[in-house]
Protein backbone atom coordinates (compact mmCIF):
# COMPACT_ATOMS: atom_id res chain seq x y z
CA UNK A 1 0.00 0.00 0.00
CA UNK A 2 1.34 3.44 -0.89
CA UNK A 3 1.66 6.25 1.63
CA UNK A 4 -1.21 8.09 -0.07
CA UNK A 5 -3.36 4.95 0.07
CA UNK A 6 -2.62 4.50 3.78
CA UNK A 7 -3.54 8.13 4.44
CA UNK A 8 -6.85 7.72 2.60
CA UNK A 9 -7.57 4.52 4.51
CA UNK A 10 -6.91 6.25 7.85
CA UNK A 11 -9.07 9.22 6.84
CA UNK A 12 -11.90 6.89 5.80
CA UNK A 13 -11.77 5.13 9.17
CA UNK A 14 -11.67 8.45 11.04
CA UNK A 15 -14.77 9.67 9.19
CA UNK A 16 -16.65 6.53 10.25
CA UNK A 17 -16.14 7.38 13.93
CA UNK A 18 -18.89 9.07 15.90
CA UNK A 19 -18.93 11.94 18.38
CA UNK A 20 -21.18 13.81 20.77
CA UNK A 21 -21.24 17.43 21.86
CA UNK A 22 -23.12 19.09 24.72
CA UNK A 23 -24.58 22.47 23.79
CA UNK A 24 -26.13 25.01 26.14
CA UNK A 25 -28.88 27.04 24.53
CA UNK A 26 -30.60 30.21 25.70
CA UNK A 27 -29.66 32.06 28.88
CA UNK A 28 -28.25 29.31 31.07
CA UNK A 29 -25.46 31.37 32.66
CA UNK A 30 -26.71 31.08 36.26
CA UNK A 31 -27.15 27.30 36.04
CA UNK A 32 -24.27 26.32 33.75
CA UNK A 33 -21.73 25.42 36.48
CA UNK A 34 -24.30 23.06 37.99
CA UNK A 35 -25.19 21.06 34.86
CA UNK A 36 -23.76 17.53 34.66
CA UNK A 37 -24.13 15.33 31.59
CA UNK A 38 -23.40 11.63 32.12
CA UNK A 39 -22.63 9.51 29.07
CA UNK A 40 -22.88 5.73 29.40
CA UNK A 41 -23.42 3.86 32.66
CA UNK A 42 -21.63 1.73 35.22
CA UNK A 43 -17.84 1.59 34.99
CA UNK A 44 -18.01 3.13 31.48
CA UNK A 45 -19.83 6.28 32.68
CA UNK A 46 -18.16 9.65 32.16
CA UNK A 47 -19.42 13.01 33.30
CA UNK A 48 -19.03 16.01 31.02
CA UNK A 49 -19.10 19.58 32.29
CA UNK A 50 -18.63 21.50 29.04
CA UNK A 51 -17.18 24.95 28.66
CA UNK A 52 -19.40 27.92 27.89
CA UNK A 53 -20.45 29.78 25.81
CA UNK A 54 -19.20 28.47 22.49
CA UNK A 55 -16.35 26.20 23.45
CA UNK A 56 -18.45 23.07 23.05
CA UNK A 57 -16.03 20.29 22.17
CA UNK A 58 -17.06 17.06 20.50
CA UNK A 59 -16.23 13.96 22.54
CA UNK A 60 -15.63 10.66 20.74
CA UNK A 61 -18.21 7.90 21.25
CA UNK A 62 -18.50 4.37 19.95
CA UNK A 63 -20.06 3.86 16.53
CA UNK A 64 -22.21 0.89 17.57
CA UNK A 65 -24.28 -0.19 20.55
CA UNK A 66 -26.42 1.97 22.83
CA UNK A 67 -25.33 5.04 24.78
CA UNK A 68 -27.32 6.12 27.86
CA UNK A 69 -27.42 9.91 28.35
CA UNK A 70 -28.51 11.58 31.60
CA UNK A 71 -28.55 15.30 32.43
CA UNK A 72 -28.63 16.47 36.04
CA UNK A 73 -28.95 19.93 37.54
CA UNK A 74 -27.29 20.38 40.93
CA UNK A 75 -28.41 22.70 43.70
CA UNK A 76 -26.13 25.07 45.58
CA UNK A 77 -25.16 22.29 48.04
CA UNK A 78 -24.45 19.76 45.27
CA UNK A 79 -27.76 17.87 45.59
CA UNK A 80 -29.63 16.87 42.42
CA UNK A 81 -32.59 19.22 41.95
CA UNK A 82 -33.61 18.05 38.46
CA UNK A 83 -32.66 15.10 36.28
CA UNK A 84 -33.62 13.86 32.82
CA UNK A 85 -32.59 10.60 31.22
CA UNK A 86 -32.89 10.46 27.45
CA UNK A 87 -33.72 7.19 25.69
CA UNK A 88 -30.39 5.45 24.99
CA UNK A 89 -28.84 6.56 21.71
CA UNK A 90 -28.59 3.83 19.08
CA UNK A 91 -25.05 4.59 17.94
CA UNK A 92 -24.11 4.41 14.26
CA UNK A 93 -20.88 4.94 12.32
CA UNK A 94 -20.13 8.44 11.00
CA UNK A 95 -22.69 10.16 13.21
CA UNK A 96 -22.52 13.32 15.31
CA UNK A 97 -24.88 13.58 18.27
CA UNK A 98 -25.84 16.68 20.19
CA UNK A 99 -27.20 17.00 23.72
CA UNK A 100 -28.94 20.38 24.02
CA UNK A 101 -29.56 21.82 27.49
CA UNK A 102 -31.77 24.74 28.57
CA UNK A 103 -32.90 25.81 32.03
CA UNK A 104 -35.77 28.28 31.89
CA UNK A 105 -39.37 29.12 32.62
CA UNK A 106 -40.64 28.38 29.09
CA UNK A 107 -40.23 25.37 26.83
CA UNK A 108 -37.83 26.25 23.99
CA UNK A 109 -39.11 26.08 20.44
CA UNK A 110 -38.33 22.95 18.47
CA UNK A 111 -35.85 23.79 15.71
CA UNK A 112 -33.56 22.02 13.25
CA UNK A 113 -30.78 22.57 15.80
CA UNK A 114 -32.52 21.24 18.87
CA UNK A 115 -35.19 18.75 17.90
CA UNK A 116 -37.91 17.80 20.39
CA UNK A 117 -37.45 18.87 24.02
CA UNK A 118 -38.09 16.77 27.14
CA UNK A 119 -38.67 18.60 30.42
CA UNK A 120 -38.68 18.19 34.17
CA UNK A 121 -39.32 20.77 36.85
CA UNK A 122 -36.45 22.09 38.94
CA UNK A 123 -37.08 21.48 42.65
CA UNK A 124 -38.65 24.44 44.46
CA UNK A 125 -38.08 27.25 45.12
CA UNK A 126 -36.89 27.53 41.49
CA UNK A 127 -39.58 28.38 38.94
CA UNK A 128 -37.60 26.98 36.01
CA UNK A 129 -37.54 23.61 34.30
CA UNK A 130 -34.67 21.58 32.87
CA UNK A 131 -35.11 20.99 29.12
CA UNK A 132 -33.04 18.46 27.20
CA UNK A 133 -33.07 17.38 23.57
CA UNK A 134 -30.83 15.01 21.64
CA UNK A 135 -30.08 15.39 17.94
CA UNK A 136 -28.08 13.40 15.43
CA UNK A 137 -26.73 13.92 11.95
CA UNK A 138 -24.01 12.85 9.57
CA UNK A 139 -20.56 13.58 10.93
CA UNK A 140 -18.89 16.37 8.99
CA UNK A 141 -22.14 17.53 7.38
CA UNK A 142 -22.88 21.24 7.34
CA UNK A 143 -24.71 22.10 10.54
CA UNK A 144 -27.93 24.12 10.38
CA UNK A 145 -27.60 27.80 11.35
CA UNK A 146 -28.46 28.04 15.04
CA UNK A 147 -28.51 31.54 16.45
CA UNK A 148 -29.93 31.76 19.95
| pLDDT higher than 50, residue 9 | no
Q: Please give the C-alpha separations between residue 76 and each of 31, 80, 85, 121, in angstroms, as whole numbers.
A: 10, 9, 21, 16
- Alpha-carbon distance of 90 to 82, in angstroms, equals 25
pLDDT at 148 over 70: no
Question: Of all residues in the chain, what percent are helix, strand and coil, respectively (each to 5)?
Answer: 15, 40, 45
Q: What is the pLDDT of residues 29-78, one digit of tens each?
A: 778 888 999 999 889 899 987 666 555 778 899 999 999 999 999 998 99
Long-range pairs for 41-45: beta carbons < 8 A, 24 or more residues apart = 41/68
Residue 120 has pLDDT above 50, yes or no: yes
Q: 126 or 45: whose pLDDT is higher? A: 45
Tell me the pLDDT band of 111, cut-offs 50, 70 and 90.
confident
pLDDT of 119 strictly over 80 = yes
- Length in residues, the chain: 148
Instruction: Report the chain's mean pLDDT, rounded to a whole number.
Output: 83
Give CA separation, 86 vs 66, 76, 129, in Å.
12, 24, 16
Q: What is the pTM of this model?
A: 0.82
Report the Cα–Cα distance between both ends of the chain, in Å, rounded.
48
CB 13 within 8 A of CB 57: no
Question: Is-contact 63 18, C-beta < 8 A?
Answer: yes
Amino acid sequence: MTLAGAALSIAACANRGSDIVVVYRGDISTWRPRVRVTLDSGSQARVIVPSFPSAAKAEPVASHGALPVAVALLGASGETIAQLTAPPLALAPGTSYGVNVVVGAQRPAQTACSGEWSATAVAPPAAESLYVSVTSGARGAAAPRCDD
